[in-house]
Structure 1
Amino acid sequence: MTRILPRPAPARAVTRLIEAGTHPLLARIYAARGIQSRDELDYSLKAMLPPAQLKGVREAAELLADAIEAGARMLIVADYDCDGATACAVGIRALRMFGAEVGYLVPNRFEYGYGLTPAIVELAAPMAPDVLITVDNGIASVDGVAAAREHGIATVITDHHLPGDELPEADVIVNPNQPGCEFPSKSLAGVGVMFYTMLALRAELRDRGAFDGKTEPNLADLLDLVALGTVADVVKLDHNNRILVAQGLQRIRADRMQPGIRALFAAAGRDAARATTFDMGFALGPRLNAAGRLADMSLGIECLITDDMGRALNIAQELDKLNRERRAIEAEMQEGAMANLDAIDPGARSSLVLFEPDWHQGVIGILAGRIKEKFHRPTIAFARGNPGELKGSGRSIPGLHLRDALDLVTKQAPGLVLKFGGHAMAAGLTIREDDLPRFEQLFEGIVTSLIDPANLTRSLETDGALEDSLYNLETARLLEREIWGQGFAAPVFDDVFRVENQRVLKDKHLKLQLKKGNTRLEAIQFNHADAAAPSIHAAFRLSVNEYNGVSSIQLMLEHFEAA
């Protein structure tokens, strides 16, 4: 069951926004998302939060500036998702602009696991780095930082994940979520933290006269990378993150982007001149992530740091091929998982814990997300990792902080979870295979104790009805140009329609012709083949459909029920 709930839009806020020059429809949508004034829609660079508020960033800038002046060798230790790849690319490109000698290392996730581990330090040591810089990881790398110290290697941690009870004894930690950090935006992605660190480093180098007599590097040129990593990591798009994404999209639409970003748009068949957050989250991000899931994320990083357009195009095609392979593996795993779940009544459970011996550990996170969407339950999918161990990836629903739930598991059963980490909505963990039944039982009990039963019923918030006069391309383009994402949801409307025609495409997508008043509308619901009633109450997004060079509006149905 899905409840369609309209978002309230405070009338005074709507009026203020309209009086400040905001389009009336956007004013209603923004007010429903808590926007009170036009200032919160200022996406200029001058509206960005200053780096100085980020704890550790000044010390990191001083350490890195000293290293550059000394000709020290730096090595970035990257993570294997899109956020990690873009953060690494920002670091490589910025540090090389500053004259640093810098390389990168991105460990194979299946062989070395996550974060700066002692094994990764041993892998890095032969490269003789003087400084290790982590991006999108490191806040939990207590043992890895200790191992680096034993080798005489300095460590700079740049991360955004929530810290554990013990912080690594790094030379510097830059993380808005570390204790004592007063940076107002706790939702920076890993790439955002690295971008801020590079801004502080440039300011430090400027103060030291490093740019006297020469052109100062323009770090704004890297905002296409920052925007991609921020959207793909599904962090909350607070005002500061919306600025970063808006500035990146502005540059992409103006054809001022890295060759790798341009190549990824080409491989995905998307028009960069009309780039949206949807393109980043569902077209570019998955192609980069496919490298980390099935192969080696260094392929994705090379795509983002090369200045050779031909090479970028070749790599983007490889990434596209990996993404198709990833989708095939995921579809097979999902089909098997759903067959096993047919006998389960999720209404009797607060969570789902799944494992199949032949599942691919690179795709279990996506699988967990798909199953979570279907059953609206916090879901953890496990695959085999090291001998005798299972690696799990979890996805949550509103109302349950997944990392906190796993933290409670570790406190109630010390030793049951070998390691874990993550966010409110996504987390990863490792357990022993023999402990799976005990973990499942304990996790179910903890989720049941933490979650409000009302949160186990899916709710779909909408922005109400759309006026008949707004069912047009102009409205669709207006909404398409705005910044939407996690915590700042894209507009979803709802209304009652008469169904004039319907058919199933490719055995799984329902295509409909709807009528509202005198207006006929094309609509589609993906991965839904059940027939619609003659009259439906539908929740939908307004989109632009491009076919044979002709543009038209189409309703993308999120949910419908008999009216």
Structure 2
Amino acid sequence: MTAEAASETGGAFLGVERSISGKSWRLREADEADALAIARALDAPEALGRILSARGVTPDIAQGFLKPTLKGEFPDPSSFADMDRGAARIADEIEKGGPIGIFADYDVDGASSAAQLIRYLRPLGIETPIYVPDRAKEGYGPTGESLLSLKAKGCGAVITVDCGAAAYEALEAAAEGGLDVVVLDHHLMQGEPPRAAAMINPNRVDCASGQGHLAAAGVTFIFLAALARELRRRDYFKGRDEPDILSFLDLAALGTVCDIVPLTGVNRAIVAQGARVMSAQGNAGLKALAESAGASPPFAEYHAGFIFGPRINAGGRIGDSSLGARLLSTDDAEEARQIAGELERLNADRKAIETAVVDEASLAADRSVVSDTEPAVIVASGEGWPPGVVGLAASRLVERYGRPAVVVGIEEGGLGRGSGRSIKGVNLGGAISDLRKQGMLESGGGHAMAAGLSIRKENIPAFESALSERLADEVAAATATASLRLDALISPSAANLALVEMVQAAGPFGPGNPQPVFAFSNLRVAYAERVGGAHVRAAFEDSSGLRLNAIAFRVADTPVGEALLNAGDRRVNLAARLKLDEWNGRRRVDAHVVDLAWR
């Protein structure tokens, strides 16, 4: 059935060349024979076999894919450039009794990385003074002054986490000041690395580990394995207990999910195993955060990315940047409850601020989009927009306009701090790096899908023009071929609890292992209602009258939302993800609407 549907009108799935959201529907490529063999081997629906085959799974590894193990995926730490050197340097400092400084980025990846280090070193009696920069006042990454402030506290060595790969001046100042710095980072690098005691980054040019998909939390976890190996080699643990780094998998998983890195290879194992550790609630901070958010185990990547992550990030966005690392590293239940409560409050404030900024940025973007010179990239700027929410606002503009967006908050004095998000096929970070080299930006860089920058207010118009000109061809090509990949065509009767539970076993889902999207053909919108301001709750019926409950998030003012609310008797094809909805002991399947197409 799916193969026939896919062959309609030159490969468009169900004949959908242009959906209501403007996408062409395409069936994800899979080996149909393998899909059937996988389904038989797992005693599962063919739809699951197709999902796995489309992700490169063959029948002989299907069972293992559903149960990834850390042992099977863990890389040799020595394959990372400078890993053994960095582990030896920190082992030297441990043998001296410390203290060892930690410089951490203000986001979840930085906080979860710092907490792993603190939790490893604390039982060894090593003090860990920590420095987390203020996002608004100091911006990203270390300065020479901030690193040397840790030296002034007695630290002979400092470990930076989720930053440092581009901190040439700061690391040079630290070295000149007699401070050894071990960098644990994962951001893209070019050319010679900065001066450091060790630069551990799978994305440095000369690193042969093949683990460039790791988040900093994953790099930190592997570093701790190397450090433990080095300390064992020195017989350090004779007469003392060795910290259990496996107990830190919840933190490694948290950073991995929240930094949106590909969930393949060791990342997939970290998240799968880490979710189990997270669900055991051994971390006082995560337990308190779950209680304040009204969440309960079992936990999965959804909780890491949408429940824990935004709350931890709220401290760095609009509050105290150190709150996340403090929460994740404390063993004091009362302190954890207090910090979790503060993060809950800050997250509510962040949501309100984000909404206001998105509304203002959307008005500015609307004026650009309807102009005669419709830009390839949306650039919106405003006075007083907090740097902690501009990235979130940029993401919302990408969702709305389907093209890259950069949002800049302008501070007193005329300096703007901005964040950008891109679309598949458009290298936004590379373009911003080029414009920085041309002197148009005070600073800037990132990767293909996301970037940060600082810019003088008076340079924003020229930057907007130059960025759109630089990326025009890439954006045109990307938007011309915008498509939605679907995994299988099923009926509402097949969207049952058994299928959803089997699909969940194919997770964790994220970049590199996308959440499956199912197609449903020839449905009637039986009910639709706007809920929660921007969402639409709906129900679909097939020709036999069987219903499929659904929710469409943040679509009320988009073409998809308008179609749902005004469908009348017209019939639609539906693209949706299937989710398990549990409430008051009741379990049912909900369809999360991804797209619609008129029949």
The TM-score, its normalising length taken from structure 1, stands at: 0.95
Task: Call closer, same or farther: CA 1:94–1:510 in 2, change over 3 Å.
Answer: same
State the 1:20 CA deviation: 4.8
- C-alpha distance in structure 2 between counterparts of 1:185 and 1:2, whole Å: 33
- C-alpha distance in structure 1 between counterparts of 2:395 and 2:136, whole Å: 20
Say which SS state the counterpart of residue 288 (structure 1) adopts.
Answer: helix
Q: Deviations over 1:480-537 (max 9, x none)?
A: 3521012211111111211222222244322212112342121121222322423121
Match of 1:27 in 2: 49
1:69 aligns with 2:95: yes
State the 1:544 CA deviation: 2.1
- C-alpha distance in structure 2 between counterparts of 1:552 and 1:90, whole Å: 37
Contact 1:84 1:136 in 2 (8 A): yes
1:267 aligns with 2:303: no
Give 5+ residue unaligned stretches, structure 2.
1-21, 557-561
- C-alpha distance in structure 1 between counterparts of 2:128 and 2:65, whole Å: 38
Match of 2:598 in 1: 562
> After TM superposition, where is structure 1 displaced by more than 4 Å over at least 4 residues in a row?
39-42
Match of 1:312 in 2: 336
Match for residue 579 of structure 2 among 543, 554, 557 = 543
Contact 2:379 2:406 in 1 (8 A): yes
Task: Call closer, same or farther: CA 1:22–1:447 in 2, change over 3 Å.
Answer: farther
State the 1:342 CA deviation: 3.0
Amino acid in the other structure paired with 2:578: L
1:5 aligns with 2:26: yes
Contact 2:129 2:150 in 1 (8 A): no
Match of 1:486 in 2: 511
Contact 2:492 2:547 in 1 (8 A): no
Match of 2:459 in 1: 435
Give 5+ residue unaligned stretches, structure 1.
none
State the 1:345 CA deviation: 3.1
Contact 2:193 2:199 in 1 (8 A): no
Q: Deviations over 1:433-468 (max 9, x none)?
A: 111111111111111144452435642222121244
- C-alpha distance in structure 1 between counterparts of 2:551 and 2:182, whole Å: 49
- C-alpha distance in structure 2 between counterparts of 1:386 and 1:41, whole Å: 53
Match of 1:89 in 2: 115
State the 1:41 CA deviation: 4.7
Identity of aligned residues (%): 35
Contact 1:85 1:297 in 2 (8 A): no
Match of 2:7 in 1: none
1:553 aligns with 2:589: yes
Match of 1:472 in 2: 496
State the 1:42 CA deviation: 4.9
Contact 1:409 1:446 in 2 (8 A): no
Task: Call closer, same or farther: CA 1:480–1:316 in 2, change over 3 Å.
Answer: farther
Match for residue 71 of structure 2 among 33, 36, 46 = 46
- C-alpha distance in structure 1 between counterparts of 2:476 and 2:84, whole Å: 42
- C-alpha distance in structure 2 between counterparts of 1:166 and 1:180, whole Å: 9
Q: Deviations over 1:370-389 (max 9, x none)?
A: 10111111111101247232
Q: Deviations over 1:161-217 (max 9, x none)?
A: 011444211011100001211112211001111111111000000111112244332
Amino acid in the other structure paired with 1:208: R
Match for residue 523 of structure 1 among 530, 536, 550 = 550
State the 1:469 CA deviation: 4.3
Match of 2:13 in 1: none
Match for residue 292 of structure 1 among 297, 304, 316 = 316
- C-alpha distance in structure 2 between counterparts of 1:431 and 1:322, whole Å: 27
- C-alpha distance in structure 2 between counterparts of 1:449 and 1:555, whole Å: 36
- C-alpha distance in structure 1 between counterparts of 2:529 and 2:104, whole Å: 47
1:210 aligns with 2:236: yes
Amino acid in the other structure paired with 1:439: F
- C-alpha distance in structure 2 between counterparts of 1:105 and 1:548, whole Å: 43
Task: Call closer, same or farther: CA 1:114–1:336 in 2, change over 3 Å.
Answer: same
1:228 aligns with 2:249: no
- C-alpha distance in structure 1 between counterparts of 2:397 and 2:96, whole Å: 52
Match of 1:176 in 2: 202
- C-alpha distance in structure 2 between counterparts of 1:456 and 1:88, whole Å: 43
Task: Call closer, same or farther: CA 1:91–1:386 in 2, change over 3 Å.
Answer: farther
Amino acid in the other structure paired with 1:290: A
State the 1:336 CA deviation: 1.7
State the 1:125 CA deviation: 4.0
Q: Count the aligned residue pairs.
A: 559
Contact 2:361 2:407 in 1 (8 A): no
Deviation larger for 330-339 or 76-85: 330-339
Match for residue 345 of structure 2 among 315, 321, 328 = 321
State the 1:247 CA deviation: 0.8
- C-alpha distance in structure 1 between counterparts of 2:120 and 2:533, whole Å: 48
Contact 2:129 2:153 in 1 (8 A): no
1:391 aligns with 2:427: no
Contact 1:493 1:541 in 2 (8 A): yes
1:121 aligns with 2:185: no
- C-alpha distance in structure 1 between counterparts of 2:514 and 2:412, whole Å: 39
- C-alpha distance in structure 2 between counterparts of 1:35 and 1:458, whole Å: 26
Contact 1:476 1:543 in 2 (8 A): yes
Task: Call closer, same or farther: CA 1:495–1:224 in 2, change over 3 Å.
Answer: same
Amino acid in the other structure paired with 1:43: P
Say which SS state the counterpart of residue 537 (structure 2) adopts.
Answer: strand
Deviation larger for 175-184 or 222-231: 175-184
Amino acid in the other structure paired with 1:299: L
Match of 1:149 in 2: 175
Deviation larger for 361-370 or 17-26: 17-26
Q: Deviations over 1:369-424 (max 9, x none)?
A: 0101111111111012472321110001100122211123234xx22122123222
Which aligned pairs between 1:407-426 and structure 2 lie closer than 5 A? 407-411=433-437, 414-426=438-450
Contact 2:77 2:225 in 1 (8 A): yes
Match for residue 374 of structure 1 among 389, 393, 400 = 400
Task: Call closer, same or farther: CA 1:73–1:454 in 2, change over 3 Å.
Answer: closer
Deviation larger for 122-131 or 145-154: 122-131
Contact 1:155 1:170 in 2 (8 A): yes
1:276 aligns with 2:276: no
Which aligned pairs between 1:95-106 and structure 2 lie closer than 5 A? 95-106=121-132
Match of 2:184 in 1: 158
Deviation larger for 292-301 or 4-13: 4-13
Match for residue 301 of structure 1 among 315, 325, 330 = 325
Amino acid in the other structure paired with 1:27: G
